[in-house]
Amino acid sequence: DVKAISFTGSNQVGQQIQKQAIEHGKKVQTEMGGKNPLVVLADADLEKAVEIAVGGAFKSTGQKCTATSRVIVEEGIYEAFRDRLVARTKELKVGDPLNEETYIGPAVSKSQRDGVLEMIDTGKSEATLLCGGEIPTEEELANGYYVRPAIFENVAQDARIAREEIFGPVIALFKAGNYEEAVKMANDTEYGLSAAICTNNLTAAQRFIEDVEVGLVHVNSETAGTEPQMPFGGCKNSSAGSREQGKSAVEFYTEVKTVYMDRI
């Protein structure tokens, strides 16, 4: 009785569902992982770029498939951006998400937090931890699965924290020599869900829209931002089949019937 299957979740499960759906002749769409980059060019507004990085990476405790996990900064502003990003991250309040002053809520479960902490420990052996990554010690946070947002630099392109989806509040920070190198780094991933660029150069923004290998592109806004009336999905190993949301979703759940009628 099942005519179509729409799945959102991990790549491992999504690929299994896709295979079984195809074997049974079912229409299928999958939305899976992301390793979403934010590119910050030298002409960008630094304060706004920092807020875009923080919002994209740490809202929802990084538990979004569109969350920013890699921040690639042009070398001319790298140190200034890094220092502001670290300072801003240290200001973020961790705690009860129902408290309006809170920015970082808990992980959804102990196993989820443990997975994030395991990746942070891996990152410590692969890169330089600039801040965060520990469990808060405050008494009022003892009953929640909290972890302070972490930022790494000196990250190799083949490091686990640069390649694997963490689904937690972790940023891998990279330095790029120019626009071309930044885009090459952004595209160096098996995923292709969302990407963002911070720049005041309209030509660079248009180039990025064309060059970056993703399904969702943001210019001067965070990677995690979406609107339900717009098609949602990516390329490479992030998605398969048609897009979710918007007119694409209506089309996925619609059978097209072509009718030819002539006079008797």
Per-chain mean pLDDT for the chain: 94
CA proximity to 61, closest of 166, 189, 174: 166
Identify the burial level of 159 via C-beta atoms within 10 angstroms of its C-beta, where 0-12 means exposed, 13-18 middle and 19 or more buried: middle
Q: What is the pLDDT of residue 168?
A: 96
Q: What is the pLDDT of residue 100?
A: 86
SS3 88: helix
- CB 19: neighbour CB atoms within 10 A? 11
Angle among Cα 200, 235, 258 to the nearest 5 degrees reads: 115
The CA distance from 192 to 11, in Å, is: 13
Q: What is the pLDDT of residue 155?
A: 97
Look up residue 185 and give its amino acid: M
SS3 161: helix
Structure token digits, residue 64: 């979004």
Residue whose pair of structure tokens reads 């923004």 in the numeric block: 205
Residue whose pair of structure tokens reads 């330095």 in the numeric block: 175
Q: What is the pLDDT of residue 246?
A: 86
Q: Which residues contact 5 (CB under 8 A, 6 or more apart)?
A: 17, 21, 26, 27, 28, 29
pLDDT (tens digit per residue) in 1-44: 888 999 998 889 999 999 999 999 999 999 999 999 999 999 99
Domains and CATH numbers, the chain: 4-30+232-252 (no CATH), 34-219 (3.40.309.10)
Q: What is the pLDDT of residue 98?
A: 87
**Catalytic residue annotation:** 31, 65
pLDDT (tens digit per residue) in 59-77: 999 999 999 999 999 999 9
CA proximity to 62, closest of 88, 90, 36: 36
Q: Do residues 160 and 123 lie in contact, with contact meaning Cβ atoms separated by under 8 Å?
A: yes
Tens-level pLDDT at each residue, the chain (264 residues): 888 999 998 889 999 999 999 999 999 999 999 999 999 999 999 999 999 999 999 999 999 999 999 999 999 999 999 999 999 999 999 998 888 888 999 999 999 999 999 999 999 999 999 999 999 988 888 889 999 999 999 999 999 999 999 999 999 999 999 999 999 999 999 999 999 999 999 999 999 999 999 999 999 999 998 888 888 898 999 988 888 888 888 888 888 899 999 998
Exposure string for 201-225, b = 16+ CB within 10 A, e = fewer: eeebbebbeebbbbbbbbeebbbbb
Angle among Cα 30, 34, 36 to the nearest 5 degrees reads: 145
Q: At what angle do helices 179-187 and 202-211 cross, to 10 degrees?
A: 30
Partners of 176 in beta bridges: 74
Q: What is the pLDDT of residue 240?
A: 87
Q: What is the percent of the chain with per-residue pLDDT over 70, rounded to a whole number? A: 100
The CA distance from 116 to 122, in Å, is: 10
Write down the pTM of the prediction. Answer: 0.92
Q: Do residues 199 and 178 lie in contact, with contact meaning Cβ atoms separated by under 8 Å?
A: no
